Chains A and B, each alone.
Chain A
Amino acid sequence: MVVTITAASGALALWPIGEAVTLSERQGDPQRGAYLARAGGCIACHSDAASGRPALTGGAPIETGFGHFVPPNLTQDETVGIGAWSVKDFARAIRQGIAPDGRPYYPAFPYAFYADLSDQDIADLWAAFQTVAPQQAAPGAHDIAFPFNLRFGLKLWRAAYAKAPATAPDTDRSEMWNQGRWLVNGLAHCGACHTDRNLFGGRDVTHPLAGNDDLPDGGKAPAITASALQEAGWSVSDLAFALKSGVSLDGDTFGGGMGEVVRDGTAWLSAQDRRAMALYLLDQDGPVSEETTE
């Protein structure tokens, strides 16, 4: 009898009720979070070593046709940084591109690529950012031209162009291919530069990674579709090594911003993740239609 009751209460104790673990209850792993912050370009974009300011106190300005965007301070400072944020604010900012005060972010922040991050990913990132000491230094403010300075216009932009990334696992493919796809199409946001944009800065999702001749600073990002890469002669190991070293097939080294992507981003990834990205890039699925990107 006692045994039965004990067993029953044990089962009762384990019987799950209500919702799954909420974001604020979830235990984050700061090391994994720091890794994701590298892979996602948080550190590269929100730091500007040349300015002499400490890491993550805000990035170098990005000049675009719409204005001058400044990646803000992401340290734990309560006024200029994110020290006063809750984990929910953080999750909404990253996955939905909405600031704690409810205003939409400009798409210079590539939040659309982060929409598929899991609660665990967010918790890990949150834990990593908690370790960044508060720093008052700030990089200055945006300077956006009319009418783009009116943020309500961004609601229309979001409706038209803020598509979720094509990262859902394909069970017919290998785990490595899926990991590469998750990185390339999502977190590492290759398409932010390598996919062309229209007049309104919306990405041409029917031609993903087909190259962009009109980067914010006037540069160009080449096509990195599977066919373009194969035609140029890239192999998986060449490409994986390029993501570590910045060395191209002909012995030239990357420039135009890709050097920074490697130096502050992909060079820090595990060899396996770089290989996964290369594997996926050389064997991508076909162009994504409008319907399937929802």
Chain B
Amino acid sequence: MTIRKLMLGGAMTAVLAVGAWAHSGATGVVKERMEAMKSMGAAVKALKPMMSGEAAYDVEAVRKAAREIAAQSGDNMTALFPDGSDDAPSEVLPTVWTDRERFEYLADALEQAALGLEQAADNGLHAGQSGMMGGQSGMMGQGGMMGGQSGMMGQGGMMGQSGMMGGQAGMMSADHIGQMPADGAFIMMTQVCSACHDRFREKDD
């Protein structure tokens, strides 16, 4: 038996000894929210190939995944981040408590976007018909770079405000998002996920 195997054996024993640490090693509310995040990730993973046009579009599957995400966002999400719950292996940043208002705003924005996606499921995809409008400007259906002269400098145009989750004001409602093509609503939703990850998560790996 080599030293390497011995060490490996030791490590295995150590892992088995702390049974409660199975899976990610998290416990309590940290474990609960990690599982919630994972299941939302799985829903996004299921949606992605449909939204990029690589898999057949299935309206019912889109609705179902959107509902799963909506159910775990908003207050249900923020409730999983009580004060001081940053035990290892949590990847949460302290900003989740110091910038609580923004965290709650984004959690609500996610809920609206996911409910919007559920409604938008019937609208099908925009991509493919879009040509040069493949960018965000196209998805928003407004005059971005290919639009009128005003697009560029106006709010929401190319040089303007960064749009949906920019400021605290002006969150789009699920009903509005529901009017969009499904892939537009999906991207709006995933960009809310990212906006939150940008500020409140630091990945370990």
Contact = CB atoms under 8 A, between A and B. Distances in A.
A202 to B, nearest CB: 25
A267 B145 contact: no
B152 A251 contact: no
A66 to B, nearest CB: 21
Interface string B168-204: 1000000000000000001100110111111001110
Nearest to B54: A237
Nearest to A32: B145
- A-side interface size class: 35 or more
Given A251-B45, A254-B194, A267-B191, A50 B167 contact: yes
Given A30-B152, A237-B54, A247-B190, A259 B195 contact: yes
A61 to B, nearest CB: 14
A86 interface: no
Contact of B159 (A43, A256, A260): A43
Nearest to A262: B194
A201 interface: no
A122 to B, nearest CB: 16
B141 interface: no
A234 to B, nearest CB: 13
Given A251-B43, A256-B201, A55 B162 contact: yes
A49 B191 CA distance: 15
A219 B202 contact: yes
Interface residues of B, number: 48
Contacts of B85: none
A31 B152 contact: yes
Contacts of B157: 34
Most chain B beta-carbon contacts within 10 A, residue among A50, A128, A259: A259
27 contacts: A31-B158, A34-B145, A55-B159, A55-B160, A55-B162, A131-B153, A132-B159, A220-B203, A241-B48, A245-B186, A245-B191, A246-B191, A250-B41, A251-B41, A251-B42, A252-B41, A253-B44, A255-B196, A255-B201, A256-B198, A256-B201, A257-B198, A259-B194, A262-B194, A267-B191, A268-B136, A272-B134
Q: Closest 10 interchain pairs by CB?
A: A255-B197, A251-B45, A259-B194, A271-B134, A49-B166, A34-B158, A246-B194, A253-B193, A251-B41, A259-B198
Interface of A: 30-31, 34-35, 37-38, 43-44, 47, 49-50, 52, 54-56, 128-129, 131-133, 218-220, 237, 241, 244-247, 250-260, 262-264, 267-272, 274
